[in-house]
Structure 1
Amino acid sequence: MSSPLKFLDLFAGAGGLSEGFIRAGFKPIAHVEADASACFTLKTRQAFHWLKNNNSIDIYAKYLKSEISRTELYDAVPPNEIDSVINEFIGEDTLDKIFQKIDQQLDQAKLDLIIGGPPCQAYSLIGRARSNMDDDPRNHLYKYYAEFLRKYKPKYFVFENVLGLLTAKSPEGELYFNKMKSLFVDVGYSIEYQVLSANEYGILQNRKRIILVGKRGHHSNKSFYPEPDKWNTQACVWDLLKDLPKIQAGGGTSLPQKIKSKHSEWLKESGVWSALPVTWHEARPHSKQDLEIYKFAVNLWNNEKRRLHYDDLPEYLKSHKGRNSFVDRFKVVAGDLDACHTVVAHISKDGHHYIHPDIEQNRSITPREAARIQSFPDDYYFESVSGKPARTSAFKQIGNAVPVLIAQKIAEKLLKDW
C-alpha cells in the first residue's frame, strides 16, 4: 500500500478543513495557526488520531473525563505529532522560522498539498462595514500563502474564504480576489473556483464559501476542479439536536455526557456520531429578559413560521437603542428546517442569533450543538490555552471553522482524480 499523500494546513483554525482531509485519507505534516487556543485543539486532535490508529483510544477517553492531564495525553503520543502544530502568525518576520519547522516535520519528504485560507474578517462584508480595513494586515496574508506554494511546489492547493472576497477592494480600487488569482498563476498554478453551499453536501446549515483550487502547471484544456458529490439527506435540524440531553440555560457541562441510544441516520451517515461520550454540551446562562425574548421568538416560529423582528417585541422587552439595525438579532435555530442559518464566530459574544428550538429548554445552543451544525465529529474536543474549559473560546473556534463534511467531500474527489 502506498503511503498517504501529505498536506500542510495554513491558517488552520480549529482544524475543520484538516479533519475532512484526514478522514479522506490524507496525512497532515504540519498545521500553522496564530491562535493559541486553536493550536491546543489541533494538538489534542493529533493525539486523538494517533491513539485511535494505535488502538489506544482509552487514553483519550481518560483525558476527556479529566482522569489524566493534557500534558499526560500529549506524552502518550510521539513528540512529532504535537510538534506538527506550529503556533505562529504568518508574516515576514516568522516565515523562515515556520519553513524550518515544516522542513523538520517533512524530513526531506515531498509535500503533496497545501490547504487553508487566511482569516476571513478582512474580506467579510461585516468586517468591512465595522471599520476601515485598508490597513488591515490580514488583507495581504494571501501573499505569504503564495510563498509556501513557491517553496514547496505541491501538486494542488485548496484555498477557502468568504463570499465577501469577491467584492473586497484594495485602496487602489482593485479586487483582492483578482490580485490573488494573478499571484497564484505567477507562482506556477492553474486555478479554478466555485461558490459552494454547505447544505447541498449533507451539512444542515446554509453556509456559502468560495473554494479555490490550484493545480501546478498549465491546465486550460480540461477542468480539474474536485467538485464534491452532492447529498440530499432528507434530514432536518432536529436530527442533530434531539439525542442530546435536555438542559436549561446555564446547565450542562463541558465534560463527557451520555446521549440517547437512538441516533438519527444523519448523525451516523455524516460521521458526526461517535462511540465516545459527547463533550461541550454546556449552555451559557441568560438574563430573565433574554429568556422571555427567546420564548417569544420560539412561539412565533412554532405558531406562525415567522422570524422575530425586533419591533415585534412588547415595548418592555426592547432594551436596545439601535432598533433600525440588526433587527433579526434574536433568531431561532429552527428544528423543522433542512438547514439552519450560518454559524459564525459572533456566537462567542452571545447566543441571541442561535436560540434552541425547544421552548422547554429555553436557551441558546451549546458548543456541541454548534459543532454538529459545522459537522464536527462528537469526539472533537475544543481546547483553551489554560487547559481549563472555556466556552467562549470553543464557540469562536467552531464559528470560524470550515465544515468538516464539505472538506471531506472535496478531499475525496481530489484523491480520486489525483
Structure 2
Amino acid sequence: MSSKNLKKNNIDNYSLIDLFCGIGGLTHGFVKENFKIDAGIDFDGTCKFAFEKNNNASFYADDITLLSGDDLLKRYRKNTRKILVGCAPCQPFSLQKNKNLNKENGKEDSKWKLLYSFADLIEQTDPEIISMENVPQLLKFKDGKVFNDFVEKLEKKGYKVSYSIVNAQDYGVAQRRKRLVLLGSKHGYIKLIDKLTPKGHHLTVRDVIGHLPNVEDGVAHPSDPIHIARKLTELNKKRIQASVQGGFWRDWDKSLWLDCHKKESGKAFGSVYGRMKWDDVAPTMTTCCNGLGNGRFGHPEQDRAITLREAALIQSFPMNYQFADSSTKLSTQTIARQIGNAVPVGLGIAIARSIKNHIESLE
C-alpha cells in the first residue's frame, strides 16, 4: 500500500508485530492506543497464554535467528502498512553482566547478536515504522559498535532514526527504570512524547499496590492466585522484621548479617533485603523481583517480599492482566521472570502514542 493511500488521523491502515514480545508489556501499550496487533514472536513459549489472552493477537514461539523475512511478512495482515517493534534481550548489555561473561564456563553471552537478527529482519521486511527498546548500557557495549551497527543499517534503508534515554517513572510507571528508546520511520523523525508524570508527581508504591489486601509469605490470596509472596525462612523473616522502609542490611543486628556483608566486597550491595518506601517509586523490577535477597523488594510494611501481583502492578500491567491459565502449572519464578523481563506497559503507551502522533501528522 502506497503512502498516498494513508488516511490522515487514522492508524487503522497499519498493523504491528512485536519481536521478543514476552508476555506483551510493549504490545499492550499499543493495544491501549488502539493499534491493531498482528502477532508477537518470542523464543519463550511459556509467554503464549498471557500474550494472546490480553492482546487479541497470535503468539509464535520462534527463534528470531532462524526466522526469515518472508516468514515474518506472512504474519502481517494483507493490504496494511507495517510497524515492527521489539526489545532484544537486554541481559548481555546490563550492568550486572558488564563483562559479558558466563560465570559457569567463561564464554561470551551470545544473546547480544539478536540485535543483528532484529536489524536483518527490518532490512528484509522493510516496515515503514520501527521501534527498539533496551537498556542504556547498549550505547557503550563493545565500545558502541553493536548499537552503531544497528543504527547504520537502518539509516542505509532510509529510516530517520532518533533515540533517547528515558526513565519509566516519567511515563506513569511507579518504578525507576531507565531505558534506551529508539524510533525510526521512512517518513521523518518521530518525537517521543513529553513526560507524562513530571518530577514531584510520579506514581508511588502506595499508589499502585496500597489497595491490595494483606497476605502472608508463601500464602496466595484466595481470590488472586498471583497475589503470593515467596515463603521466607525463619532467619529471613527476622531480617525483614528488622528492616525499615528504605533501609538495608546495616540496620540489622550483626547477628543477622550474611557472611558476604562482613567482607569489604559485600558492603556495596546496599539494596538487597531492603524494604521499598510507600511514598517513593520502586526500584527496577528484575527477573527475581519476588526475591527478598535479590534487591530492594521487601514490602514497605508487611514482613515479606512483594507478591507477583504487586510486581506486575509496579510494571504498570493492569489489574485484570492474566498471566497464567488455571489449567497450566507455571512456577512463581517463571511468572516473576516474565514480569521482570517485560517492557512496562506505561512506557509502551508512551512509545505507541509517539508513533500515533507521527502517523497522524503525515499528509
TM-score bucket (shorter structure)? 0.7 to 0.9
Alignment-derived partner of residue 416 in structure 1: 357
Q: Contact 1:384 / 1:393 at 8 angstroms: preserved in 2?
A: no
Matched to 1:142, the amino acid is L
Structure 1 residue 307 displacement after superposition: 2.5
* CA shift in 2, pair 1:26/1:362, >3 Å: same
1:153-173 residue CA offsets vs partner (Å, 9 max, x unmatched) = 22211100001112111xxx5
Which of 38, 53, 69 aligns to 1:44? It is: 53
Which of 294, 315, 338 aligns to 2:240? It is: 294
Q: Does 1:330 align with 2:273?
A: yes
Which of 20, 43, 46 aligns to 1:11? It is: 20
1:110-151 residue CA offsets vs partner (Å, 9 max, x unmatched) = 342111121001111212246268742211111211222122
Could you tell me how far apart the structure 2 residues matched to 1:130 and 1:41 are?
Answer: 30
1:4-58 residue CA offsets vs partner (Å, 9 max, x unmatched) = 5211100111110000011101111111101121123212224xx4xxxxxxxxx
Matched to 1:246, the amino acid is N
Which of 124, 129, 138 aligns to 1:156? It is: 129
Structure 1 residue 107 displacement after superposition: 4.7
Structure 1 residue 371 displacement after superposition: 0.6
Matched to 1:95, the amino acid is L
* CA shift in 2, pair 1:363/1:385, >3 Å: same
Q: Contact 2:173 / 2:203 at 8 angstroms: preserved in 1?
A: no
Q: Does 1:200 align with 2:163?
A: no
Unaligned stretches of 5+ residues in structure 1: 50-80, 258-278
Alignment-derived partner of residue 320 in structure 1: 259
Structure 1 residue 348 displacement after superposition: 5.3
Structure 1 residue 88 displacement after superposition: 1.2
Q: Does 1:355 align with 2:298?
A: yes
Could you tell me how far apart the structure 1 residues matched to 2:153 and 2:73 are?
Answer: 24
Q: How does 1:67-106 map to 2 (within 5 A)?
A: 81=57, 84-91=58-65, 94-96=66-68, 99-100=70-71, 102-106=72-76
Alignment-derived partner of residue 230 in structure 1: 196
Q: Contact 2:12 / 2:36 at 8 angstroms: preserved in 1?
A: no
Alignment-derived partner of residue 243 in structure 1: 211
Could you tell me how far apart the structure 2 residues matched to 1:174 and 1:400 are?
Answer: 23
Matched to 2:61, the amino acid is N
Structure 1 residue 356 displacement after superposition: 0.3
Q: Contact 2:15 / 2:35 at 8 angstroms: preserved in 1?
A: yes
1:236-284 residue CA offsets vs partner (Å, 9 max, x unmatched) = 321212211111111224x644xxxxxxxxxxxxxxxxxxxxx511111
Q: How does 1:213-228 map to 2 (within 5 A)?
A: 213-216=183-186, 219=188, 223-228=189-194
Moved more, 108-117 or 9-18: 108-117
Could you tell me how far apart the structure 2 residues matched to 1:107 and 1:205 are?
Answer: 35
The SS at the match of 1:194 is strand
1:155-210 residue CA offsets vs partner (Å, 9 max, x unmatched) = 211100001112111xxx55322222112222331211011111112211111100
Which of 225, 228, 247 aligns to 1:282? It is: 228
Aligned-residue RMSD, C-alpha: 2.5
Structure 1 residue 398 displacement after superposition: 0.7
Which of 245, 270, 287 aligns to 1:345? It is: 287
1:365-418 residue CA offsets vs partner (Å, 9 max, x unmatched) = 001100111100111122389811421111111111111012112212321221
* CA shift in 2, pair 1:149/1:290, >3 Å: same
Could you tell me how far apart the structure 1 residues matched to 2:326 and 2:202 are?
Answer: 39
Q: How many aligned positions are there?
A: 340
Give the alignment's TM-score, normalised by structure 1. 0.75
Matched to 2:113, the amino acid is H
Structure 1 residue 103 displacement after superposition: 3.8
Which of 79, 94, 99 aligns to 1:109? It is: 79
1:81-104 residue CA offsets vs partner (Å, 9 max, x unmatched) = 5xx21101211xx223x742x444
- The percentage of aligned residue pairs carrying the same residue is 27
Could you tell me how far apart the structure 2 residues matched to 1:89 and 1:289 are?
Answer: 42
* CA shift in 2, pair 1:163/1:107, >3 Å: closer
Give the alignment's TM-score, normalised by structure 2. 0.85
Could you tell me how far apart the structure 1 residues matched to 2:212 and 2:345 are?
Answer: 20
The SS at the match of 1:291 is helix
Q: Contact 2:83 / 2:130 at 8 angstroms: preserved in 1?
A: yes
Alignment-derived partner of residue 266 in structure 1: none
Which of 13, 25, 50 aligns to 2:34? It is: 25
The SS at the match of 2:289 is helix
Matched to 1:285, the amino acid is K
Alignment-derived partner of residue 345 in structure 2: 404
Matched to 2:247, the amino acid is R
* CA shift in 2, pair 1:8/1:127, >3 Å: same
Which of 375, 382, 386 aligns to 2:316? It is: 375
* CA shift in 2, pair 1:31/1:395, >3 Å: same
Could you tell me how far apart the structure 2 residues matched to 1:333 and 1:256 are?
Answer: 25
* CA shift in 2, pair 1:107/1:204, >3 Å: closer
The SS at the match of 1:210 is strand
Q: Contact 2:209 / 2:314 at 8 angstroms: preserved in 1?
A: no
